[in-house]
Chain A
Amino acid sequence: EVQLLESGGGLVQPGGSLRLSCAASGFTFSNYGMSWVRQAPGKGLEWVSSISGSHSRAFYADSVKGRFTVSRDNSKNTLYMQMISLRAEDTALYYCAKFSGDYWGWGVDYLGQGTLVTVSS
């Protein structure tokens, strides 16, 4: 059974930093691309970043490019996202997501329960 367990969310001031983690199990982690998807309060889903499975090539939404960095440790089956220069509009529930293939396949097949990031003074 695929399990994705996010952690690291919390309350942070504007301009602050936070590091999210996602512990994955139930599949061969290095074989699959992974992603972060967020959902602002009362809003829809937004793709944030993706990282390929074997080569760790990373891609970002324009809204976070230059501020967020996605990485992975295949030896620990863990996905990360370092977030800096946080803004109020980054406030959201951040979901860890698994792709159906290394370089995405046909898309996301599983999402975790999410970790809440609140950016406020």
Chain B
Amino acid sequence: QSALTQPPSASGSPGQSVTISCTGTSSDIGTYNYVSWYQQHPGKAPKLMIYEVSKWPSGVPDRFSGSKSGNTASLTVSGLQAEDEADYYCSSYAGSSTWVFGGGTKLTVL
């Protein structure tokens, strides 16, 4: 049950695109398409942004997109806006009814 690996920080200017990676293993991301991404603003509960690698929950703008290749999943935020500044966490099913999260990435909008 090792945590997924995310870069501690990422940044971009308004209007630009930024991609956050999430690296797991063949036991989690590499096997299952149950990868989710969560956005957390300071002092707030995490909010689901992407599920099943690349699907959007209702109400999430399509500026947020997800993908996966091998053992690595990615979240891309296009057309960066000030309100996108937050912490982002990935999560994956890891088999045998267990789940694993990433360490989180702090996204800064310059």
Contacts and interface: CB of A to CB of B under 8 A. Distances in A.
Interface of A: 35, 37, 43-47, 50, 57, 59, 61-63, 95, 100, 103-104, 106-114
B98 A47 contact: yes
Contacts of A50: 97-99
Interface string B94-110: 00111111111000000
B85 to A, nearest CB: 17
A114 B40 CA distance: 13
Contacts of B47: 111
Contacts of A112: 45
10 contacts: A44-B6, A45-B89, A45-B104, A47-B1, A47-B101, A62-B1, A107-B93, A108-B91, A111-B38, A112-B45
Nearest to A58: B97
A111 B97 contact: no
Contacts, number: 72
6 closest A-B pairs (Cβ-Cβ)? A44-B103, A45-B101, A44-B104, A47-B99, A59-B97, A107-B36
Nearest to B94: A47
A62 B48 CA distance: 25
A103 B97 contact: yes
Nearest to A57: B97
Contacts of B61: none
Given A100-B51, A109-B57, A95 B46 contact: yes
B34 interface: yes
A67 to B, nearest CB: 15
Contacts of A109: 48, 51, 57
A104 B104 contact: no
